[in-house]
Each structure stands twice: as C-alpha cells, then as structure tokens.
Amino acid sequence: MTHPPLSRIPLPPPFDAPLLVTGGTGTFGHALVRVALERDLFPRLLVFSRDEYKQAMMAETFGHDPRLRFYLGDVRDLSALRLAFRAAHYVIHAAALKQVDRSARDFPQFVQTNVVGTMNVVHACHDAGVRKCVVLSTDKACEATTPYGATKAVAEWLAVTGSTYGPCRFAAVRYGNVIGSRGSVLEVWRKQVEAHGEVRLTDPNMTRFWMTPEDAVALALYALANSRGGEVFVPKDPPHSSIRDLARSAFPRAPHRIVGKRAYEKKHEVLVSPEELDRARDVGPCVVLVPPPAFVHWDPPPFGADAPPLNAPLRSGGAAQQ
C-alpha cells in the first residue's frame, strides 16, 4: 500500500524487530503508534507507561491491534524497565514531566523522572540488549533557563554519552513545541477562552518553534534508523512564529490580554546555539550535532560527521541566522 509523505523528513524502511516507547500513552506515543501500525514499520509495538486507564483507552483506540502490547511501569523503576526492555530491540524514550511552571515548584520530582528516569533507561537498554535508543529532548534544553530545561539538558547529555557504557547506541532528538500536545499553549489558550473569553499572552512578540506530532515522529524514526551513537538530531528550518500571530490564527475572535513575560522565559528559543556550530552538520533532511570527539569510543564514526557544516544558529526569532 502506498502512503502519502508523512513529513519533510523521510520515513525509514520497516525495522526488523520490536520497538518500545516509554511514556507511550501521550501525544507522541499515539502519533508514533498510529504511523507505525498504518505503515507496518515494526513487527510489534510495546507501550510502557504508568496509567492503566490510558493504556486501556489507547488499546481501544487502535482496535486492540495484535501488534500492540502494553507494559505498566514508571521510568523511575529500573527493575520494571529491565523486564519490559527484554522484549524490545529498539527504544524511544518519550516519558517526561514537561510543565515549565510546575518544574519550578516540583523540581525534585522533575529530576527523578527526567534525569534519574533517563539514566535508568540507559542502564536498562544495556542490561536488556537493546540495539538502539532515541531520547526525546526539547529546544528548552538548549541554553536552558528553566528547571525543566535543565533536566532535559542533562537527559540529552545522558543520551550523548550513553553509548560509552555498553553495546546499545543512543541518540537524542531536539525539537520545539508540538501542536496539539497535552499542556501545549494552544490547549492553555483554549481553556482560557472557555473560562474567561480571552487569550492571555505573556509577551506577544515572543517567538517559538512549532511542529506537528507527525513531524516529531518522523524525526525520531530518522534518528533511530541512522544514529551510530551520541548524535543529537534537530529539525532543519522548522516553522516558527510570534505568540501573537499564533494566537490570532488559532483564536481569531478572542480578545488578547498581555500579562507580562515570566522571569525565566526566553524571548526566542534556540535549537542550535552558537557554541554548538562546530559540531552541527547539515545532513539534508535535518541537522545533526555530532558528539564531541572525546566522547566517542566506538566504530563507525557518528552519523553526519562528514556532512557540510551548518552556517548559523537556529533561533525562533529568525531560524538559521546570527
């Protein structure tokens, strides 16, 4: 069966072994499972998450497809990960706490899930004989200014260095806001309109990167297929806009009220910083940050190491410009 292109990033050929996704009942997990089942990308899909009700609803959504299996557990629990990972050859680590405001109030909990949980994933992958693991990151990990961003920056470095400690090869993908994801600004604004009849903007000139769940899935699968260990995959020229323009597009009839920028918020987000340019390579469908040479102790060399360099940082205030 022929399918239309999912994204500007090409999907890889079908994989020969099962895939497990942590945090798999979320927005990314639903999109991944839908794409993988429709295109028969894996012989089996394993969803690892904490909520049995969400798992039951997800199984119903996908018609109890026999290729889909669920594991109940928390990434904070290394023993649960080890048991589940025995059935997988590939892992995408999507489980995370993501609410920026909550990260300031509940920072220890964010550390336990986003940092310790990722470290547990690294250990479990090596212990269970997983071939490859891709860790989902965020633009807020680049030049992090929030507690949430700081935890994801550490998680990203655990992916960059994870291949050092055993046979599994790790990589990360770093991208911006996913449209329609749980807790996204669009969901927040919708609730504001329903409750107050207005959209509340912190700074109307603030800019952010945007992508669809399908774009995020395509990037993660591209990384899974091509990574050799230690790379960070970043979308090239992703859509970006001001908060004002996004609000006008999504809620054209709702009035806007400016409430002021939070102290920790950036005016513009960054996907590739100036300091990372010496490691940034343009591989065509996306940008790859190759790991620092001192961190690479395996063969073959990182994917994209011989590709042309990226010429300028990627900022939401003007992608690929100084």
Give me the catalytic one of 54, 98, 132, 140: 140
Specify the length of the chain in residues. Answer: 322
How far is it, in rounded angstroms, from Cα 88 to Cα 93? 12
How far is it, in rounded angstroms, from Cα 294 to Cα 230? 11
On whether the CB atoms of residues 81 and 126 are closer than 8 A, the answer is no
Do the bridges between strand 207-211 and strand 240-242 make them parallel or antiparallel, or are there none, so unpaired?
antiparallel
**DSSP state at residue 147:** H
Instruction: Establish whether 140 is a catalytic residue.
Output: yes
3-state secondary structure of 200: strand
Question: In 10 A of CB 239, how many CB atoms?
Answer: 15
On whether the CB atoms of residues 302 and 233 are closer than 8 A, the answer is no
Residue 317 identity: G
As given in the structure block, the two tokens for residue 148 are 């949430």
Residue positions annotated with a catalytic role: 140
